[in-house]
Structure 1
């Protein structure tokens, strides 16, 4: 009898686990360009395989000082629990492969030209065959989002499966509205919350306006965005904005990803950006948005900068406003690529401070940075970039860089520099910085006592920096 009840309990436990595994797929709308470099399938454990369409997306390859369009593959689905994924390479035989970010530890099994791996949580990953980073597969394995219930039908703007062609024009989202973009929907236009409050934009569909920002939060308050894939998603002149599970991909000049301009109380989590300019920025007065930035939290993101910086803070304002960027946290960031030929615009982590801005109380922690093709790890400067600024910045203070790990070939020399004795960089603290497994600290073994610790990390430090430390 005890054996019977034990068996029943195990069966019920198995049923309970399998009942939590769920997969939701959606066909690409008719008329949307697909790419056939890969065949992608997914299934819950022991279920039937389901085919996943692969969209053709544009990305940027800079060569000969020009933007060159490459066509890459994007596949997406929603799931809960566990899911198995199968990726078959059609365009080329597999001699080698990567599933990145490396730190996720996704172990793929290869059989011929087919890779199989499992996921137990939403992930944004790149599958690369034979080192090809342009004709790769971006796989967006997302959480499940259901069509929301609202009090009145008029409160919901629903974009169901299919193409919604607004000819690239703006769609204004009024206050109090909930927008739901079905996973099988593509909007040819861009969404704007100009002057609105209490707005939700939900769903894993695509907003594809062409050479334009896809979703713009402008002069708004109490905004939630959860799920969409678009070109750019800037926030300007706004307060209390949350962005989760969003993906951006751009290919044109100045195609930044997630901009924050003159805004406060912004929370971003679980994002992906592959961009033709900076992935994530925090600026003050710019593009008719006025003011500083305060209380910004950005967590669990994957950044891929085909041009410029993965992260850029400071630079833009209007003198003599004396604006401040204060209380910023980047936590749990994966940087897959950084490629920039111009020295002034290099830096996986960049604070380039101009226009009388003060940048203070910023923490970068739990970073994994892959091999840098062209660029540097850190570029922290009070500077006067005459192309964009009318004055140098006022200073950079209280910057913590904790648990930063770089794995790759030697990048260009980094830089930490103040402008003069009145516009300095003060109190920059590195804690547990590792470069190819070597811990950089003030008491590290093998460091000659007359060396600066920054020399061991290949970082130039000028005379207008004080309070720089490296600890375990």
Structure 2
């Protein structure tokens, strides 16, 4: 549990990992009622450098993002930056990650809002790793406010294969500057091996 905190960091903010041949899953984690500021990296980066058996039941709610990285990088970049980056690797299953009541203050600079992308993350002894699988995640009451500028807020979902896919992504009441984000919105991009994606107002 992380509650009632203000943090300012240079690197990734909430980075959930399972290192050193960890056999237990990372599960039942709650982050709530916090204010976050990162200078050059990600607000949430979950699944990178991970050897755990699985990740599940992760909840973040009532979060204010006061500042995010101004160093925009394309979602195909290995070191892209995002508000929320879900990147299961090492063949793990990541499931039931829920984000609700997130308020993002835009500086007018662009940032990726969501990266839902199983990845091959090479580090340490893992030179040819398998990606993981991502399923059953929800994003509710996500609001961007402040200066519109060049903000796009890409929502990017991409599976790796039929086995390492993305499924069951639910979006409810996501708004940018008061306007709803829907599946047909230009900021939403879905690649291969992505299924069961739902948007609602």
What range describes the TM-score normalised by the shorter chain of this pair?
0.7 to 0.9
Q: What secondary structure sits across from 2:106 in the alignment?
A: coil
Any conservation in 2 of the 1:358–1:393 contact (CA below 8 Å)?
no
In 2, the alpha carbon distance for the partners of 1:384 and 1:405 equals: 31
In the alignment, which of 10, 25, 28 is matched to residue 292 of structure 1?
25
Q: RMSD of the TM alignment (CA)? A: 2.0
1:271 maps to 5
2:174 maps to 433
Any conservation in 1 of the 2:15–2:45 contact (CA below 8 Å)?
yes
Any conservation in 2 of the 1:283–1:292 contact (CA below 8 Å)?
no
Quote how far apart the aligned CAs of 1:288 are: 6.3
Q: Given the superposition, is the C-alpha separation of residues 272 and 287 from structure 1 closer, same or farther in structure 2, using an over 3 Å criterion?
A: farther
Any conservation in 2 of the 1:353–1:392 contact (CA below 8 Å)?
no
Q: How many residues matched?
A: 190
In 2, the alpha carbon distance for the partners of 1:414 and 1:470 equals: 12
In 1, the alpha carbon distance for the partners of 2:21 and 2:10 equals: 23
Q: What secondary structure sits across from 1:370 in the alignment?
A: strand
In 2, the alpha carbon distance for the partners of 1:308 and 1:334 equals: 16
For structure 1, the 5+ residue unaligned runs are 1-266, 442-452
In 2, the alpha carbon distance for the partners of 1:368 and 1:297 equals: 17
- What is the CA deviation profile of residues 109-140 of structure 1, one whole-angstrom value per residue up to 9, with x for unaligned ones? xxxxxxxxxxxxxxxxxxxxxxxxxxxxxxxx
1:245-260 correspondence runs (5 A): none
Quote how far apart the aligned CAs of 1:316 are: 2.0
Q: Given the superposition, is the C-alpha separation of residues 392 and 374 from structure 1 closer, same or farther in structure 2, using an over 3 Å criterion?
A: farther
In the alignment, which of 116, 122, 126 is matched to residue 380 of structure 1?
116
Quote how far apart the aligned CAs of 1:380 are: 1.0
1:183-198 correspondence runs (5 A): none
1:308 maps to 41
Quote how far apart the aligned CAs of 1:341 are: 4.2
In 1, the alpha carbon distance for the partners of 2:22 and 2:93 equals: 17
In 2, the alpha carbon distance for the partners of 1:457 and 1:292 equals: 36
2:130 maps to 392
Q: By percentage of residues, which structure has more helix?
A: 1
Q: What secondary structure sits across from 2:143 in the alignment?
A: strand
In 2, the alpha carbon distance for the partners of 1:375 and 1:387 equals: 25
Report which structure shows greater RCO (CA 8 Å, sep ≥6). 2
1:420 maps to 161
1:229-378 correspondence runs (5 A): 267-284=1-18, 286-287=19-20, 289-318=22-51, 323-339=53-69, 340-343=71-74, 344=78, 345-371=80-106, 373-378=109-114
1:193-232 correspondence runs (5 A): none
In 1, the alpha carbon distance for the partners of 2:26 and 2:43 equals: 19
- What is the CA deviation profile of residues 176-202 of structure 1, one whole-angstrom value per residue up to 9, with x for unaligned ones? xxxxxxxxxxxxxxxxxxxxxxxxxxx
For structure 2, the 5+ residue unaligned runs are none
- What is the CA deviation profile of residues 141-182 of structure 1, one whole-angstrom value per residue up to 9, with x for unaligned ones? xxxxxxxxxxxxxxxxxxxxxxxxxxxxxxxxxxxxxxxxxx
Q: What secondary structure sits across from 2:82 in the alignment?
A: coil
Any conservation in 2 of the 1:378–1:415 contact (CA below 8 Å)?
yes
Quote how far apart the aligned CAs of 1:374 are: 4.6
Any conservation in 2 of the 1:435–1:457 contact (CA below 8 Å)?
no
1:198 maps to none
Q: What secondary structure sits across from 1:371 in the alignment?
A: strand
1:31-180 correspondence runs (5 A): none
- What is the CA deviation profile of residues 418-457 of structure 1, one whole-angstrom value per residue up to 9, with x for unaligned ones? 111111101000010111111124xxxxxxxxxxx2x415
- Matching of residue 461 in structure 1 with residue 196 in structure 2: no
